[in-house]
Amino acid sequence: MKNRIEEIRKQRGILQEELARQLGVSRQTISSLERGRYNPSIFLAHSIAKHFSMTIEEVFIFEEDAQ
């Protein structure tokens, strides 16, 4: 799953540390999310989308494996 967290965060001038504090997670969590190394729980995905006043689908891009 890909996401637009870094893009949206930078557009809004928010540092990783600020976003992490506002969401109640570590900066490392935000970094891992942005690098695609960590998929958030549905609760965290909802919190991130709500924080940005967006839908989950606008922030997170689910790509099905081509078969």
Q: What is the pLDDT along the chain (67 residues), one digit of tens a residue?
A: 899 999 999 999 999 999 999 999 999 999 999 999 999 999 999 999 999 999 999 999 988 765 5
pLDDT of residue 67: 54
- The beta strands (E) that lie in the chain are given as 2-3, 60-61
pLDDT of residue 63: 80
Judge whether 30 and 5 are in contact, CB under 8 Å: yes
pLDDT of residue 23: 98
pLDDT of residue 32: 98
Judge whether 49 and 41 are in contact, CB under 8 Å: no
